[in-house]
Chains A and B, each alone.
Chain A
């Protein structure tokens, strides 16, 4: 069942600007992950943040997690045209449960 909700659904920015995408979820989680998907292609794992973490960085990516608000954000700094893709958050509850994906944000970076 769908759990995450991302906003915005679509985002268009100029190259060099920062892009922020948000994700909200409904139940308790063990961790939250962000994925990227180019049109018609498979998923690329970007970053994982555990429920006891509040912020994580990886290159130009910055992820925050607020478990009290059940929300996460993904910030891409200094965006590039190659960052154009759909970005999904996915949550994992405890145990052997599968990842549940949000609806995604379609990011367009205009050169």
Chain B
């Protein structure tokens, strides 16, 4: 099946610094990638949808200047948490949808997640 990787898997940073998380589709081209955030013992909340070569679409309540998303190629999307604060500590999960359906037209493939801890 299709594989999505995320890097890093875990990051600890100081308050005020910026952190970049990479999401890669390893064996397929992803025209659309999604970024979700998950707080402890809660569900996944969609943050934004990014399409290759265009600006990301953010969900209501998600600050686009704080969570910068770049989808520069068909296999890579990045999420940068700028000026991170402790309340940004969370599990960030990306998801990719293949172009042309791939092995499952209706399936989004999920990365393993990145745990961000802001001290």
| Cβ–Cβ < 8 Å partners of A41 in chain B | 112-113
| Cβ–Cβ < 8 Å partners of A2 in chain B | 43, 45
Number of interchain pairs (Cβ within 8 Å):
52
Known: A96-B32, A98-B95. A88 touches B108 (CB 8 A): no
The bracket for how many chain B residues form the interface is 20 to 34
Check A34 for interface membership: any CB of B closer than 8 A: no
Check B83 for interface membership: any CB of A closer than 8 A: no
* B43 and A101 form a contact (CB under 8 A): yes
* A98 and B108 form a contact (CB under 8 A): yes
* B44 and A1 form a contact (CB under 8 A): no
Known: A42-B111, A42-B112. A88 touches B43 (CB 8 A): yes
Check B68 for interface membership: any CB of A closer than 8 A: no
Within 1-51 of A, Cβ neighbours of B (below 8 Å) are at 1-2, 30-31, 33, 35, 40-43, 45, 48, 50
| Cβ–Cβ < 8 Å partners of B46 in chain A | 1, 98, 100
Residues on A close to B: CB < 8 A? 1-2, 30-31, 33, 35, 40-43, 45, 48, 50, 88, 92, 96, 98-104, 106
